[in-house]
Chain A
Amino acid sequence: MNDNEKEFENFVRGIKFDDNPEYNHRDKLEQDLLAALAKQPRQKDSPLIIWRTIMKSHIAKFAAAAVIVIAVLIGISTFNGTTAWAEVMKALGEVENIYIVSTMTMTDGTKVQSKWWLRKPNCLYEDVYNRIVIDNGQERLTIDKENRTAQFSDSFMPYNRLEEHYMFESINRFRGESSEEVEFVKLDDESDETTLVFRMHCKHSTTELKGKAWVDALTMLPRKIHVELVSETHNDNPKSGEITCNYEPIADDVFAMVIPEGFTELPRKQRGVMSGRVLDEHEQPVASAIVYVTDRAGQFSEQTITDKSGHFTFKLPPEGVGAPLWLPVLLRAFVEDDPDRVAWTIIRQPDNKREPGGKIPGEVAYIDNDGSILKSANGITLRMEPAGTIAGQVTDVDGAPIPNVKVKLLRCEPADKFGNSSPTSIGVLRWDGPGELGIVRTDENGRYELNNLLQLWKRTKVVIHAEAEGFVSDTTSFRTKGPIEYEELDLQLYRAGITVSGVLVDNYGQLLVEREVYVRVNGKVYYKACRTKTDERGRFRLVGCPITHDLQVKAELSHNHWPPHERERYMSYRYYPDVIVGIDYEAGKMKYEVELVAERPEIIIEAELKNTAGEPLPYFPVEVRGAPGSISSQWRADKKLEQRTDKNGYCKLTEVPKVEDLGLVMSGSRDRVWNDTLSSEEGKKISKEYRKYKWTKVPVELVPGRKEYKIEVTILTNEEYEREK
C-alpha cells in the first residue's frame, strides 16, 4: 500500500456512516424477492435454457447433457394432461435404483459417453467426462482419468444427499411442470403391448428439438430417450443425445472402491478440523463443557463435549461439498448448571480489517481459509469469562403469565468501532445453537432466563423472539447500555385469533389489486405474522391477528413494489397515501370486515417564485413534501412531484396527495431534479447563482373540498434572512 492509499485510509477511518438499514428492511425485501422469484417465468428451468447455458460451461457440459435429455422429456410431462406420460413421471419419481447411460453425439461426429448408477439412499457411481466418483455413504473414491490418479476421502453423502443429486433433482424439478412450447404425442402405430412410444417436439425461441421416448408399458418407466437438435448449433455442443435407463436393483459391487490398474493412489484427502481446548479463569482445562459452533450463514451448526483435558474437535464438511463453513464462525462453550460463565471466540477472515469494536477473546493458532470459507482452524483456546443473562416475564396483555413460551436470542449486534450497532459489526448472523440449544421455555410464572450469553461490549442491540401457541409470535429488540451483564426484558404477547378481511378500493371505486396489507398495533408492525396482498378483486384476509383494541390494518400504497424490470406495471403504478384503519374491537368478536379507501392524489398546486425585489425566479427547484415517510422518493420521481419552475418562475404540480404536513420545499442549491429539464451544465450554473437563496419550506393549508391551490412564494437570500432574524 503506498502513501496515498495509507493517507486516504487514515482519513476514512473514523467516518461514521448511517449504515443500519431500517430494522425490517431485510425481511421485507426478502418477502418481495420471494414473490418476484415466484412470479419469474420458470424459463430458467425450461430444459432448453438449461441446454444452452450448460453448454457454456465446458466441464459441466457432459455431466449435464444427459440430464437435459431427461429434463426435456420430463419438462413436457404434464402437458395437455396426457395421462400416459403423467404416469411415466410418477414412476420416475419413485425410482429407487436407476442406471443411466448417456451418449452424446457432437457436431464433429465424436461421441461422448457418461454413466450413472444411483441407488437410494446413499450410493453413487458417476462416470462423467474425465472423472469417476464412487460414494457408498461412508467413503468416496475420486478417479481422475486424465492424470491417472485416484484419491479416497470421506463420503459427501451426509452433506450432499443423493436425493439432491442433479439426476433426481431434475426429475423432481420437472415433475408437475408444464410447458406450452412442447408438444408431446403418443405414437399408437409404433407402440405395442410392452412398449409405448412417445414423440416430442419442442421449440423455444431459436432452438428446436425433436425426440422420441420408449416407455415400458408395464412399469411406465422410460427405457430409452432420444433427442436431436434441429436448429443450428455451435461447434462444441452436442448435436444429439440418447440415454438408456435401467431400473433393476443395483448390486453392491458396482459401488466397490477399486482403484483401476495403472492408477496412482494419492494420499487420502483429509477433512478440515476445528480443534482446541477450553480453559477456566485459572488456565485449568474444563472437562465436559458443551462446545458449539455456528457459521455465519447458519448452515453449519454442531455441538460436542470436551474431554478430560478440555479438548474438543469438530470435523468440518469435506472440501467440495455444497455446505461449507462460512466465516465468521462463532464458537461458544459452557458447562451445564453454570449459568454465569461462558467461553467464546469468533473466527474471522484473517484479512478482514474491520475492527469489531471490542475485543474478541480466545486464540486461534492456525486458520486455513479460502476467502470466506473456513477449511480448518486449530489450536483454539477458549477461556471462561463472566457470562451475561437476559431474563424476564412473558405475559399476555392482561398481565397474566404465559407458561411454555419458546424464547430465543435471535440476534446480538454489538456496537462497532464507530459506535453503530449493526448486523455487520461482528458479522455473526445466527445466535441459536444446533437443535434446541439456546432456546428456553418460560416456567409456570411466565419467567424465562437466557443464560451463558456473551457479554460483548459497549451498547448492543439484542433481538429476542418469543412464540407460543395461540399467540402472535413477536420479535422485540432493545439496546443495552454497556456489556450484557444482567438485563430484564419483559415481553407481552397478544393472543391470536382475529380475522380481518376486507376490500381495498380508491375513492373512485377502483379495486386496488396486489397491494400489500398488514397489521399494526401501536405503531408496531407484524410483518411476519400478519401480512398479505389483495387479490384480483381487491380483497384481502388477515388471519391470526392480535386480539386488541389497538389493532389497525395498514395498506402500503406509497411505495411501488413492482420491480423496475416489469416496466409496464412499474410505470403504470398508481401511488396513494398509505391507508390505516383501526378495527372497532368488540370483546368476543373475532371476525371483522373493513373497507380501506385510498384517496386518489389529485391536488393541483401552482406556485410562483419571486425574490424580494419581485423578480421571478426561473428554473428554481421545487418539490412536494409531506410528513416523513408519507411520500416516497420513488413516488416523487415517478410522478413529477419535483420540478423546476419555468422561465417565468412558475410551476404546476399535479396529482399531489393529501398527506399530513403537506408543503413545498424550494432549495436553490440543488443542481439536479428528477426528470430535469436542464442539462447538468446548465443546472450547475444556475445552482451556483441560486446558492445564495435560503432553503425554504412553505406549508400548504388544505381546505376540505378544494383541489386547486395557488401559492406565491418570496424566497429570501441567506443574507436577507439573517438580517430579518
Chain B
Amino acid sequence: MDNESKASNDGQMITETLSDPAVFVKLYRRHYDAVFRYCIHRLFDRQTAEDITGEVFLRVVENLGRFRGNERQFRNWLYKIATNAVNDHLRRAGRRSSLLKGAYRQIDSQVTDCDESTEKLILLREAVFSLKPRYQTIITLRFFENLKLTEIAEVLGSSDGTIRSQLARALAKLRKKLKD
C-alpha cells in the first residue's frame, strides 16, 4: 500500500471513531503524558501545566470533528493545540510575572534541596521566558520533547529550513542570556 493511502487509512481509523468515548479515552491516555510534559516544560509550573493540559484536551474534544489524519498527525495536532493554549495562557496571564510566581512557588517548595539543578532551572526559566513564544515553542519541542526538525515544522505549519534558522536564532539568544 502506498504511503498516501496508508496515511489516509490510519487517519480514517481516527476520524471514524474519535467521537466514540472508548476510542477517545485510548487516545487520551496515550497522549496525556506527552501533553502534560510539554506544558510543564513550557510553563515551569505544575499546577498551571495541569490546567493547560485540561484545556488542551477540552479543545480537542471541541474540535474532534475537524481532525483529519493519522496518529502521528494527531500527536502533532495535539502539540499545535497545546502550543496555542500555552501561548494564549502566557498572553493572558502576562507571562513573566505570574509564571515566575508559579515557578517560584515550585522552587519554594523545593527549597530543601536547592542544588545546582534548581539553580539551573531558575536560569533556564528566565532565559526561556525572555524569548518570543515561537522560539520558546521551538526550543521546548526540540530539546525537551525530542522532536525532529521536520516534526516541529509540521506542528508549527512551517518549513524545515525556517525552523532550522529560527532554532539557531533562539539558541543564540538563549546562549547570550545564559552567559549574562
Residue positions of A touching B, CB distance < 8 A: 2, 4-5, 7-9, 11-12, 14-22, 25-26, 29-30, 32-34, 36-38, 40, 42-45, 49, 53, 56-57, 59-60, 63, 131, 142, 166, 169, 296-297, 299, 319-320, 322, 326, 351-354, 371-373, 418, 423-424, 427, 429, 563-565, 621, 633-634, 637, 667, 670-674, 676, 680, 683-684, 687
Most chain B Cβ neighbours within 10 Å, of A11, A353, A373 = A11
Chain B 27-47 interface residues, beta-carbon cutoff 8 Å to A: 28-30, 32-33, 36-37, 40-41, 44, 46-47
Q: A5-B167, A19-B41, A670-B101 are in contact. List 4 more A-B contacts (CB 8 A).
A: A22-B46, A131-B5, A670-B100, A683-B97
B159 near A: Cβ within 8 Å? no
Contact B61 A36 (CB under 8 A): yes
Report the Cα distance A47→B94, complex, angstroms.
43
Report the Cα distance A21→B121, complex, angstroms.
18
Kindly provide the distance from the CB of B98 to the nearest chain A CB, expressed in whole angstroms. Answer: 6
Most chain B Cβ neighbours within 10 Å, of A25, A131, A319, A637 = A25
Find chain A residues with CB under 8 A from B172 CB: 4
Find chain B residues with CB under 8 A from A4 CB: 168, 171-172, 175
Interface string of B1-39 (1 = CB under 8 A from A): 100111011111101111101001110111011001100
Report the Cα distance A32→B30, complex, angstroms.
17
A4-B175, A8-B171 as given contacts; A423 in contact with B33, CB under 8 Å = yes
Most chain B Cβ neighbours within 10 Å, of A15, A26, A63 = A15
Which secondary structure dominates chain B's binding surface? helix
A4-B168, A670-B101 as given contacts; A16 in contact with B25, CB under 8 Å = no
B117 near A: Cβ within 8 Å? yes
Contact B28 A565 (CB under 8 A): no
Kindly provide the distance from the CB of A11 to the nearest chain B CB, expressed in whole angstroms. Answer: 7
Report the Cα distance A2→B149, complex, angstroms.
14
Find chain A residues with CB under 8 A from B54 CB: 29, 32
Contact B94 A14 (CB under 8 A): no
Kindly identify which residue among B8, B15, B57 contacts A33, using a CB–CB cutoff of 8 Å.
B57
Contact B37 A40 (CB under 8 A): no
Contact A673 B98 (CB under 8 A): yes
Q: B20 — nearest CB in chain A belongs to which residue? A: A173
B62 near A: Cβ within 8 Å? yes
A19-B40, A21-B46, A33-B24 as given contacts; A674 in contact with B146, CB under 8 Å = no
Kindly provide the distance from the CB of B59 to the nearest chain A CB, expressed in whole angstroms. Answer: 7
Contact B37 A142 (CB under 8 A): no
Find chain A residues with CB under 8 A from B142 CB: 5
Contact B58 A43 (CB under 8 A): no
Contact B93 A14 (CB under 8 A): no
Report the Cα distance A60→B146, complex, angstroms.
32
Q: B145 — nearest CB in chain A belongs to which residue? A: A354
Contact B97 A565 (CB under 8 A): no
Kindly provide the distance from the CB of B39 to the nearest chain A CB, expressed in whole angstroms. Answer: 9
Contact B65 A43 (CB under 8 A): yes
Contact B120 A15 (CB under 8 A): yes
Kindly identify which residue among A63, A166, A320, A672 contacts B96, using a CB–CB cutoff of 8 Å.
A672
Contact B117 A14 (CB under 8 A): yes
Contact A57 B8 (CB under 8 A): yes
The 7 lowest CB-CB distance pairs between A and B, nearest first, are A672-B94, A44-B65, A672-B97, A563-B58, A670-B97, A322-B13, A16-B117
B118 near A: Cβ within 8 Å? yes
Most chain B Cβ neighbours within 10 Å, of A17, A32, A45 = A17
Find chain A residues with CB under 8 A from B95 CB: 672
Interface string of B123-167 (1 = CB under 8 A from A): 010000000000000000011101000000000000000000001
Kindly provide the distance from the CB of B86 to the nearest chain A CB, expressed in whole angstroms. Answer: 14
Contact A57 B16 (CB under 8 A): no
Find chain B residues with CB under 8 A from A56 CB: 68
Kindly provide the distance from the CB of B71 to the nearest chain A CB, expressed in whole angstroms. Answer: 8
Kindly identify which residue among A11, A372, A633, A684 contacts B120, using a CB–CB cutoff of 8 Å.
A11
Contact B65 A60 (CB under 8 A): no
Q: B123 — nearest CB in chain A belongs to which residue? A: A11
Q: A667 — nearest CB in chain B belongs to which residue? A: B101
A19-B40, A564-B58, A673-B98 as given contacts; A37 in contact with B21, CB under 8 Å = yes
Can you list 21 A-B contacts with CB-CB less than 8 angstroms, sorted by A residue number?
A5-B167, A8-B174, A16-B118, A18-B46, A19-B36, A19-B37, A22-B46, A32-B58, A37-B61, A38-B21, A60-B11, A131-B5, A299-B26, A322-B10, A354-B146, A565-B58, A621-B97, A637-B92, A672-B96, A673-B94, A674-B92
Contact A40 B98 (CB under 8 A): no
Contact B120 A687 (CB under 8 A): no
Q: A665 — nearest CB in chain B belongs to which residue? A: B101
Contact B46 A53 (CB under 8 A): no
B48 near A: Cβ within 8 Å? yes
Most chain B Cβ neighbours within 10 Å, of A53, A319, A672 = A672
Kindly identify which residue among B19, B21, B144 contacts A12, using a CB–CB cutoff of 8 Å.
B144
Kindly provide the distance from the CB of B73 to the nearest chain A CB, expressed in whole angstroms. Answer: 11
Contact A44 B64 (CB under 8 A): yes
Kindly provide the distance from the CB of B36 to the nearest chain A CB, expressed in whole angstroms. Answer: 5
A17-B41, A26-B32, A29-B57 as given contacts; A673 in contact with B97, CB under 8 Å = yes
Q: A2 — nearest CB in chain B belongs to which residue? A: B168
Kindly provide the distance from the CB of A13 to the nearest chain B CB, expressed in whole angstroms. Answer: 10
Report the Cα distance A32→B61, complex, angstroms.
11
Kindly provide the distance from the CB of A208 to the nearest chain B CB, expressed in whole angstroms. Answer: 20
Kindly identify which residue among B16, B102, B117 contacts A169, using a CB–CB cutoff of 8 Å.
B16
Contact A59 B29 (CB under 8 A): no
A371-B72, A633-B51 as given contacts; A18 in contact with B110, CB under 8 Å = yes
Report the Cα distance A674→B28, complex, angstroms.
30
B49 near A: Cβ within 8 Å? yes
A30-B28, A320-B9, A683-B94 as given contacts; A353 in contact with B33, CB under 8 Å = no
A33-B28, A37-B61, A564-B55 as given contacts; A674 in contact with B37, CB under 8 Å = no
